[in-house]
Structure 1
Amino acid sequence: MGNTLSAVAGSHDHEHYRTAARQNAVLRQEYSQKSQAAYKSGNGAKAKELSLKAKEYGREMDRYNNLARDMVFKMNNASRPANELDLHGLKVREALEITRERLNKFVKNKEPNLIIIVGRGNNSLNGVAKIKPAVTELVSEFRIKATPNKPNQGCIWIEPAGKEGVDLSWIDDFFRDLAKKLWAYLGFSR
């Protein structure tokens, strides 16, 4: 098994793509608002023109985000064994798309195990993990056994469910721990 810490999570090579995506998102929003204003003022032709421009910026935003996703994913997974999937540096939506595709392959090929590296949330806003709970929910859709924090914290160990079915017994503990952390963060004592 390779190192389960992200090799390139701190890399900023992909940031220029994320920045370009954010710039296009701002322009998309601006043109969308202008389109709505033109429509409300009765200028349908101008509204259509502005709406098409907003859609163009939206497509560019998606293109840049996809370039960043591909770069981050490739850097983080290039030297990993086939049974490891590192999701560091991805947006939640991107991580879920990649994970769903990988879990379908895992089930189809009847693989013995898979390690999904979701991280602990250290780089998330307020240190609250976003990818881990989203992937945890996605995993519950598959007929597989998932063990969080194996082989270490920030990972989910995946294996076939076996005859007993899907083991989701850990979910209650996971969300109970998450709730405790949230209460502590908000300053409430329990």
Structure 2
Amino acid sequence: MGSALSIGAGFQDHEHYRSEARKNSALRQQYSQQSQTAYKSGNGAKAKELSLKAKEYGREMDRYNNMARDMVFKLNNTNRPSNELDLHGLKVREALDITRERLTKFVKNKEPNLMIIVGRGKNSINGVAKIKPAVTELVNEFHIKATPNKPNQGCIWVEPAGPEGVDLSWIDDLFQELAKKLWAFLGFGR
């Protein structure tokens, strides 16, 4: 279950895209600061011009990060079984977006299980995992059963929750609210 990122040219390309994203991020920040300075000095036209330039670099930053994300995801998941999702090498926001999409499919298709490979956090700053707690929190929003550290410390095992594991109280609240609105609409409200 090692990361495919450690192999070959794909890793280098991914790093190239991340590097380009960082360069564009720095330029975005630079133009944004210049825009604020121009605005404070009363030069609204220059401020707008610089702001538009900052936004352009922001779009480029996003484009390069998306290219890196797609490459990393493909490298890590192409040869995996359909019930595995490997998030190694992704930024937290990217991992959450991909996981949200995959969990939606998991629930919709009533799949029996899903192993989400989040890693142990070895490559994170100070070795503190960032993706694992974020994904664990996201999984809880789906009201499905998640077992961290199964089958190992870098994974989260997901299964449909049985009736005892699902909080359905929101359904009662929803129907009570709809009933109140219906009664008010029909003129029976207070």
With structure 1 as the length reference, what TM-score do the two structures score?
0.84
CA distance in 2: counterparts of 1:161 and 1:25, whole angstroms? 42
Aligned to 1:17: 17
- The answer to which structure has the higher helix fraction is 2
CA distance in 2: counterparts of 1:143 and 1:34, whole angstroms? 46
Give the greater-gyration-radius structure (CA): 2
Identity of aligned residues (%): 82
Matched, 1:60 2:57: no
Shift of 1:8: 2.1
Contact preservation (8 Å) 1:9, 1:76: no
Aligned counterpart in structure 2 of residue 6 of structure 1, from 3, 7, 22: 3
Amino acid at match of 1:28: R
Amino acid at match of 1:33: Q
Shift of 1:67: 0.2
Aligned length: 164
CA distance in 2: counterparts of 1:90 and 1:155, whole angstroms? 15
CA distance in 2: counterparts of 1:135 and 1:12, whole angstroms? 27
Aligned to 1:90: 90
CA distance in 1: counterparts of 2:157 and 2:29, whole angstroms? 40
CA distance in 2: counterparts of 1:43 and 1:13, whole angstroms? 41
Aligned to 1:26: 26
Aligned to 2:127: 127
Shift of 1:143: 1.8
RMSD: 1.3
User: Which runs of 5 or more structure 2 residues have no equivalent in the other structure?
Assistant: 168-190
User: Which runs of 5 or more structure 1 residues have no equivalent in the other structure?
Assistant: 168-190
Contact preservation (8 Å) 1:25, 1:57: yes
Matched, 1:78 2:65: no
Amino acid at match of 1:7: A
